[in-house]
């Protein structure tokens, strides 16, 4: 009996470990809840994350889209500073295998959030849903009629 109680208490104690969802995954889930018609019916079947290196060109591409290809001089200097200081740049992909209520029944889909990390910041730079890749420079349109996930600041950085 004592052995059973010991194992039961250990199981309960360990069950609370590691249950917190990483912030970038939670932002992706919250964003998906905003775009599906019935968030109550949303089921996350699986979450996968892939992390890897990125380059300064990824940041340049991000800024280029923001400024319609005409990056302002101050921003170019910032990019030069990142290059001189050899800023560590990485990217994270959060993939959600999700099932939700669609117009004609249940829909199962893979949703993808892409983040770029640099200069101690992690930014959501794209969201892929229903075959559409919505990039950061189009997020304003995405959030006009929807709430921005609470885990994102106004510059789409993970809090």
Nearest-angstrom CA–CA distance, 133 and 130 = 8
Distances from the Cα of 96 to the Cαs of 10, 25, 37, 67, 157, in angstroms? 31, 9, 17, 30, 19
Residues in the chain: 159
Could you tell me if residue 40 is inside a domain?
Answer: yes
Token pair recorded at residue 155: 């510059």
| pLDDT for 103 | 82
Could you tell me if residue 36 is inside a domain?
Answer: yes
Q: What is the pLDDT of residues 73-100, one digit of tens each?
A: 999 999 999 999 999 999 999 999 999 9
| pLDDT for 18 | 53
List own/partner pairs for 61-64 with CB under 8 A and 24 or more apart: 62/116, 62/123, 62/125, 62/136
User: What are the 10-residue block averages of pLDDT along the chain, 159 residues in total?
Assistant: 44 53 96 94 96 95 93 96 95 97 90 95 96 93 92 95
Could you tell me if residue 45 is inside a domain?
Answer: yes
Q: What is the pTM of this model?
A: 0.83
- Give the 3-state secondary structure of residue 49: strand
User: In which residue are the tokens 């001189």 written?
Assistant: 84
Number of domains in the chain: 1
| pLDDT for 4 | 41
Could you tell me if residue 6 is inside a domain?
Answer: no
Could you tell me if residue 68 is inside a domain?
Answer: no
| pLDDT for 17 | 53
Could you tell me if residue 108 is inside a domain?
Answer: yes
Token pair recorded at residue 141: 């349109």
Nearest-angstrom CA–CA distance, 28 and 61 = 22
Could you tell me if residue 8 is inside a domain?
Answer: no
| pLDDT for 20 | 84
Count each helix (H run) and each strand (E run) in the chain, helices first: 5, 5
Parent domain of 98: 21-53+89-143
Task: Tell me the torsion sign for CA atoms 33, 34, 35, 36.
Answer: positive
The CATH number linked to 111 is 3.10.450
Could you tell me if residue 47 is inside a domain?
Answer: yes
């Amino acid at each position: 009996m004592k052995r059973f109680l010991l194992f039961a208490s250990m199981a309960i104690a360990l069950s609370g470990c590691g249950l917190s969802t990483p912030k970038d995954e939670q932002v992706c889930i919250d964003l998906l809840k905003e775009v599906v018609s019935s968030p109550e019916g949303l089921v996350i079947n699986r979450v996968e994350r892939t992390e890897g290196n990125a380059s300064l060109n990824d940041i340049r591409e991000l800024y280029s889209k923001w400024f319609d290809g005409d990056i302002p001089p101050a921003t170019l200097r910032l990019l030069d500073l990142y290059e001189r200081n050899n800023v560590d740049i990485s990217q994270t992909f959060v993939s959600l295998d999700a099932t939700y209520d669609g117009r004609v029944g249940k829909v199962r889909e893979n949703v993808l959030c892409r983040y770029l990390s640099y200069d101690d910041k992690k930014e959501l730079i794209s969201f892929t849903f229903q075959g559409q890749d919505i990039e950061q420079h189009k997020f304003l349109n995405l959030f006009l009629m929807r709430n921005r996930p609470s885990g994102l600041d106004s510059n789409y950085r993970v809090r």
